[in-house]
């Protein structure tokens, strides 16, 4: 993960706070990202997709959404800004009418709570965007992210319909609709092995796309996607060297045209370096409790990486901390913690806290052993579970390819460009 970016937000948690002897209390006011799965269904069948149930067209009942939002707002978890991301399935495969009702439900709970401003986000494959959807986006101030992998040949090799047809032309039509409506958008691309030798083509495509920013995810081993093209095979090493070459060339192009393209991964490294508490942070939103909340269409929930929804732990079982159709969300500890004890004993420990202990052990090991810790802050439990079979492990392929390679490229470029200190 692209863990780099989201690690940087939220209140500063300084180092040396975290060991694993006691479970933590849930922090108040730190939830900033709520992932809601309107439906697990997706109208496409991308080769690298990690979602296990993308044939399942069931929808979150609006009554359940009402209950979820009531609990979220009453939990003390949300901070002043809450981004609701409709994801973990193709959000636009659910009718607009459902969202009209859903957004009204969200708005009513946010208004009642009063202290949290909600922004809606769609991460979409774009093939269903039309004028009516653009009107909906505008009316509700929805921030739109488009999944597109670059030039047609690269994109169509992986992002396909169920009957194997490439979707690039339809994605570009969707983008044209957004642009005609004057709506800004961002782009997210997956770097597969075949993209790595095409840095110039990928750069040219995104530099000309008109997106506010592009984010690159390396193709990860995750959940339902058990093999990545970036892994080593019998006849080839893993893609680290090729990825280093890709970023080196990409940075060359950026240097030549500063300001033309904003790249999430590069901005994230810069932001980390500029963070006032660089070197003192202890974790990120994907490995700390109460900063991201993921709710499936049926009410199952967990904290941490959204990709954990639907994943299984070899010993602990499904990554489900409870179900909001029947149970309730844990409450945040009120501010001014000294009077509020952490959950004291294993017997009284909620399920999430037991998982958190394993996650914390991994983050602590990362802190001790990895020189990139100050950039990634302990990585993503989803990658650790998928690659290492536990949420408490340390380095993964995703770490090396998605984090370390980018950090190295940015630092090397800065090292070559910035004058020495006087």
Partner 1 sequence: MTRRYRTLLGILLGLVGSASGPTQAKPAPAPAAPAAPAIERVADIRARLQAHDAALRPVDGTTPPEAQVAQWFNWPNWANWSNWNNWNNWNNWLKWGKY
Query: Any contact of residue 264 with partner 1 (CB under 8 A)?
Result: yes
Cβ pair 118, 110 in contact under 8 A:
yes
Distances from the Cα of 404 to the Cαs of 27, 218, 360, 374, in angstroms?
A: 29, 12, 21, 11
Q: Alpha-carbon dihedral of residues 262, 268, 272, 274, nearest 10 degrees?
A: 10
| Residue with smaller CB distance to partner 1, 307 or 387 | 307
Contact 382, 305 (CB under 8 A): yes
Asked if 283 touches partner 1 (CB under 8 A), the answer is no
Instruction: Render 22-53 in DSSP notation, one character per residue.
Output: SPPPPPTT-EEEEEE-S-S--S---TT---TT
Helix (H/G/I), strand (E/B), else coil: 108: helix
Which position among 55, 81, 194, 200 is part of the footprint of partner 1 (CB under 8 A)? 81
* Of 67 and 297, CB closest to partner 1: 297
Q: Which is nearer to partner 1, 67 or 225 (CB)?
A: 225
163 binds partner 1 (CB under 8 A): no
Q: Sign of dihedral through CA atoms 7, 8, 10, 14?
A: positive
- Residue 104 host element (H or E): helix 96-113
388 binds partner 1 (CB under 8 A): no
x-or-dash string of contact with partner 1, 111-130, rule CB under 8 A: --------x-x-x-------
User: Is residue 415 within the footprint of partner 1 (CB under 8 A)?
Assistant: yes
Q: Is 142 in the site for partner 1 (CB under 8 A)?
A: no
Q: How far is the CB of 29 from partner 1 (least distance, A)?
A: 13
Give the residues across from 31 on adjacent strands: 78
Helix H or strand E segment including 250:
helix 240-256
Give the position of tokens 């900033």.
32
Q: Please calculate the CA angle 352-357-358 and round it to the nearest 5 degrees.
A: 100
Determine if 270 is a binding residue for partner 1 (CB under 8 A).
yes
Q: Determine the size of the site formed for partner 1 (CB under 8 A).
A: 68
Which residue lies nearer to partner 1 by CB, 226 or 276? 276
Note whether 186 and 212 are within 8 A (CB): yes
Near partner 1 by CB under 8 A: residue from 25, 26, 28, 33 = 33
CB 187 within 8 A of CB 168: no
Q: Does 226 bind partner 1 (CB under 8 A)?
A: no
Token pair recorded at residue 216: 């690159």
- Span interacting with partner 1, options 63-71, 80-88, 172-180, 360-368, rule CB under 8 A: 80-88
Binding segment toward partner 1, per CB under 8 A, in 19-27, 126-134, 234-242, 368-376: 368-376
* Residue 323 in contact with partner 1, rule: CB under 8 A: no
Interaction site with partner 1 (CB under 8 A): 2-3, 5-6, 8-10, 32-33, 46, 48-50, 81, 83, 85, 87, 119, 121, 123, 143, 145, 147, 186, 188, 190, 213, 215, 217, 251, 254-255, 258-259, 262, 264, 266-268, 270-271, 273-276, 278, 285-286, 292, 306-307, 371-372, 374, 404, 407-408, 410-415, 417-421
């Amino acid at each position: 993960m692209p863990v780099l970016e989201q690690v940087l937000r939220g209140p500063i948690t300084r180092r040396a706070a975290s060991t694993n002897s006691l479970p933590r209390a849930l922090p108040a006011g730190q939830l900033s990202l709520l992932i809601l799965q309107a439906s697990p269904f997706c109208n496409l069948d991308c080769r690298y997709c990690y979602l296990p149930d993308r044939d399942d067209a069931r929808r979150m009942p609006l009554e359940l959404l009402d209950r979820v939002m009531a609990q979220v707002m009453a939990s003390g978890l949300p901070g002043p800004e809450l981004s609701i991301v409709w994801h973990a399935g193709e959000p636009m495969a659910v009718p607009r009418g459902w969202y009209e009702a859903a957004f009204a439900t969200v708005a009513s709970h946010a208004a009642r709570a009063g202290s949290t401003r909600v922004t809606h986000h769609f991460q979409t494959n774009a093939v269903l965007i039309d004028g009516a959807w653009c009107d909906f986006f505008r009316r509700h101030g929805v921030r739109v992210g488009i999944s597109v992998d670059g030039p047609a040949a690269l994109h169509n090799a992986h992002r396909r319909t169920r009957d194997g047809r490439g979707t690039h032309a339809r994605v570009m039509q969707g983008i044209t609709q957004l642009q005609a409506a004057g709506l800004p958008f961002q782009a997210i691309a997956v770097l597969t092995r075949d993209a790595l030798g095409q840095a110039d083509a990928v750069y040219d495509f995104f530099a000309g796309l008109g997106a506010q920013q592009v984010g690159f995810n390396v193709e990860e081993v995750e959940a339902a996607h058990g093999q990545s093209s970036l892994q080593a095979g019998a006849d080839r090493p893993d893609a680290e060297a090729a990825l280093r070459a890709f970023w080196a060339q990409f940075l060359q192009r950026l240097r030549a045209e500063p300001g033309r393209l904003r790249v999430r991964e590069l901005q994230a490294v810069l932001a980390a370096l500029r963070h006032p508490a660089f070197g003192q942070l202890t974790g990120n939103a994907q490995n700390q409790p109460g900063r991201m909340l993921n709710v499936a269409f049926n009410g199952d929930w967990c904290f941490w990486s959204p990709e954990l929804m639907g994943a299984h732990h070899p010993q602990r079982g499904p990554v489900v901390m409870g179900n909001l159709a029947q149970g309730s969300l844990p409450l945040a500890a009120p501010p001014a913690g000294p009077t509020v004890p952490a959950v004291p004993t294993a017997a009284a420990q909620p399920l999430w806290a037991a998982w958190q202990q394993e996650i914390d052990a991994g983050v602590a090991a990362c802190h001790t052993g990895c020189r990139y810790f100050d950039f990634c802050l302990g990585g993503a439990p989803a990658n650790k579970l998928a690659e290492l079979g536990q949420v408490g492990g340390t380095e993964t392929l995703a770490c090396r390819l998605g984090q370390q390679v980018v950090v190295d490229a940015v630092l090397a470029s800065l090292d070559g460009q910035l004058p020495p200190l006087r």
